[in-house]
Amino acid sequence: MSDQSLSRREFIASGVAAVGAVLGTQSASADIWSDEGGSWAASHITHVGDDAAELEKYQPRLVTLPEDRQRMIGIYGWYADSDRYNTRAYNYWMKYSHQDSLTDRIPFLGSLFAEDAHLGDHEPFTALVDSETGAVQEVLYSGYHHYASVLAAENAHLSAEAVEGKETHTPLEVVTPHHHYRLAGTDDGVLASNTTSMESFLDAFPVWDDDGVWASTDRRTVADPWRVRDTGTWWDKSTLDYQFARIQLFLAWRDEHDNLVGV
C-alpha cells in the first residue's frame, strides 16, 4: 500500500492531476475528494492518508466465524484530520465477497424475501483519536446493516497491542449473516490485519464507486466520518435500500445488534 498523504487545501489548489504526480500514483487515488469536478469533502477535514503502519495502530480486533473469514477480501483503511474536532478519524471498511440473507434457508420463500442478500459487502468502523495524545476518544461502527453504534472510549473495551502501553483496539464480533458488528470482550478476537490484508481505501474508493458500491450510500458520511454521529446511518435516506433496512429494523426481522444512534 502506498503512503498517500495530502491536505485538502493542497488538493484544491493544485488539482487532481498535480496531486497524482505528487503521490506518484494515478489521480483516481484522490477522487474521494471530487464529485463531478467539485470538492465535496467537509471543510473541516484538512489532511488524509493511508500509511499501513499508521492504520494498524487503531484497527479493530475481530471475532469471526470460519465462514465469514473465508468471505473476507480485505480491510481498507484511511485516516483524516479535522480542525473542527481536533481529532483524527481512523476509518476501516471490511470487504466481503457476499452477504447472505437471514431467509436463505427457508424453502421456496427464501429467495422471495432475501432482499438483504447481495454480492459484495462493505462494513465500516471508525476510531476518533485525540490529535495530540493519540488516545481513542470514541468509536463508531455498523451496529446493524449500516445503522451506526457509537461508544465512548471508556465503554469500548479497548486493549493494547500495536502500540505498546496504549489501548487502541476495539474488540468486535462480526455478526452472521449481515457482517455488522457487536462489541466483544476486551481480550476477544485478533487484529483484523492478522486475518486479512490491510489495503488502501483511498485507492479502493474510485474502483468501488465505478462498481456502484456507493449507490445507496450517503457519500458525505464516507468522506466525513464524523457526520454519522448525527445521521445515525451510512445510508442515503432517500433510497429504497434505506427504507427496507428500516422496515427490517422495526419489525425485528434481524439478527442481534448493539444500541443504535437515533433508533
| Residue 85 falls inside a structural domain | yes
Convert the pLDDT of each residue in 33-49 to its tens digit: 544 444 556 778 888 99
**pLDDT higher at 68 or 176:** 176
Count the residues in the chain.
263
**Do 90 and 219 meet the contact criterion of CB atoms below 8 Å apart?**
no
**Do 142 and 222 meet the contact criterion of CB atoms below 8 Å apart?**
no
The amino acid at 216 = S
Cell numbers representing residue 156 in the block: 469500548
Nearest Cα to 170, choosing from 196, 201, 149, 198?
149
Convert the pLDDT of each residue in 150-187 to its tens digit: 999 999 999 999 999 999 999 999 988 777 999 999 99
Quote the pLDDT of residue 114. 42
Quote the pLDDT of residue 63. 92
| Residue 1 falls inside a structural domain | no
| % of the chain with per-residue pLDDT over 90 | 53
Nearest Cα to 166, choosing from 127, 198, 136?
136
| Residue 261 falls inside a structural domain | no
The amino acid at 19 = V
Exposed (0-12), middle (13-18) or buried (19+): which is 139, by Cβ within 10 Å?
Answer: buried
> In the chain, how many domains are there?
1
* pLDDT at 18 > cutoff 50: no
Query: Which residues form the domain of 59?
Result: 48-250
Convert the pLDDT of each residue in 69-123 to its tens digit: 777 899 999 999 988 999 999 999 999 884 444 444 444 444 444 444 333 478 9
Nearest Cα to 226, choosing from 154, 144, 123, 139?
139
The rounded distance, in Å, linking the Cα atoms of 128 and 142 is 15
| Residue 26 falls inside a structural domain | no
| Residue 31 falls inside a structural domain | no
